[in-house]
Structure 1
């Protein structure tokens, strides 16, 4: 099988106090997918660095971010346009957290700050397409509240109804963070604990349950590897 190039569209920066140990979000995805024959190109779209064409990579991956997709930033609007181009060209795309949300918004869905509050820490997601539950690490208040026409919700919780979305053979997106290790998550929670209610921080500051990292890494890698 020919090596595929995956373009990582980096939509946020990891906390500076964690970057030396864990790297940036692109580094985390490169580690997550290290078992596949991929070469990676990194584009820091959060800083205005964009690919020239949807064909600059064989597949695309959108990272998480501290920003909301509804915020008025030029790079977010440019990113939405690029997602629509990638969709039109049928180059496969995977989105995580902010990436999950911006894919939905770009294609006609609706995202907003969820009135029910935060989801953080280990969360069990019900997967209708796999008939199983998967524990993954969540860190979000924004949610996809309406999915685009033609998209299929295949993962959910009682708190987050649209947590995993499939876009036919083209796209796949997840609200939780398979790229976060338990130790990175604990550091992130400490660095940004002022963003979440203190009782929630106390519940999630230590991750001591198994996470379905390998299962999701395989799913993402196989999705991006598939010949279309």
Structure 2
């Protein structure tokens, strides 16, 4: 079977990586990685991406960088994502990956006018989720972990808005049959979220954040969806 490609666009803080693994490790676990063939390509360190035809799907990680900076490695990855989407490769972008997908496919990424969103937030599920293979099972409102200053300010043409909240107008979208982006972090555990809160707010956030099982299930459903496509 072809691997699910994990496109690593950055690295978490050292103390979080030591306790919970780096962004690629988080995604691997969220995909139920022990039962999935995966391959990591660290584009933030200029690693070359394979041809989309050699992959079953791709997940694009978060990053501490900004899409609007248009770093060379990021722009190369954006061009690859545009090619992969045209090829019909299933794609799932997380935070930076979500913004990069929007940028690559005709939208726009930039500073969120509401500033930083951080912590476990309530996300609203929109009616467009009803027939979506990944988002249909979500409740009308569900908790998810967030940490971002930038957003997909403008979605790509023909994109379907799936989720939002008062801070973030574009928390999730789908484009075509199987390209998805989410601004929140389904791959984050409560421990990871607590680590980011301590980074931003200090020791008063030493207690673990709450779990987010509905959001966490999205990546495992994505992996199952990819497996179903491969079985056809």
TM-score by length of 2: 0.87
Change (3 A) 1:17 1:209: closer
Aligned counterparts of 1:58 and 1:215: Cα–Cα separation in 2 = 19
Aligned counterparts of 2:220 and 2:40: Cα–Cα separation in 1 = 21
Match of 1:151 in 2: 159
Give secondary structure in 2 for the equivalent of 1:70.
helix
- The residue correspondences of 1:45-194 to structure 2 (distance < 5 A) are 45-128=43-126, 129=129, 130=136, 132-191=140-199, 193=200
- Is contact 2:198-2:204 (8 Å) kept? no
Change (3 A) 1:154 1:106: same
Shift of residue 126 of structure 1? 1.1
- Segments of 5+ residues of structure 2 without an aligned counterpart are 130-135
Q: Deviations over 1:142-188 (max 9, x none)?
A: 11111111110011111111111011213011100011111112123
Match of 2:29 in 1: 31
Shift of residue 223 of structure 1? 3.3
Shift of residue 110 of structure 1? 1.0
Shift of residue 19 of structure 1? 1.7
Aligned counterparts of 2:205 and 2:93: Cα–Cα separation in 1 = 24
C-alpha root-mean-square deviation of aligned residues, in Å?
A: 2.1
Aligned residues: 219
Aligned counterparts of 2:205 and 2:125: Cα–Cα separation in 1 = 23
Shift of residue 205 of structure 1? 5.9
Aligned counterparts of 1:225 and 1:85: Cα–Cα separation in 2 = 21
Match of 2:212 in 1: 211
